[in-house]
Amino acid sequence: MSFENVSPTRINLIRTKKTLILAESGRDVLERKRDILLRELRNSIYEAEKAREDLLEALAKAYQSLKEANMTKGSETVPT
């Protein structure tokens, strides 16, 4: 609805108020959606960081085991 050519009548005031209420309601829905998406993004980031920490821990254990195997059996007998 273009507001440039709206005549100042009671019915146009009512229509404009309804349009404003609808726009505010839409804005509220979009704000809630944004909040939910940000929360989901934070959860995904947390899970990715946790998975990375777990992976680094597993790699550190594997590397330590490889070092111990090299010291025990010798580097020629342990496949790398």
Rounded to an integer, what distance in angstroms lies between the CA atom of residue 36 and that of residue 31? 9
Q: Is the pLDDT of residue 76 over 80?
A: no
Output DSSP code: residue 3: S
pLDDT tens-digit readout, 52-74: 999 999 999 999 998 888 888 87
Residue 29, CA distances (Å) to 23, 33, 36, 77 in order: 10, 6, 11, 65
Is pTM, for the whole model, over 0.95? no
Rounded to an integer, what distance in angstroms lies between the CA atom of residue 6 and that of residue 15? 11
pLDDT tens-digit readout, 24-33: 999 999 999 9
Q: What is the dihedral of CA 63, 64, 66, 67, to 10 degrees?
A: 120
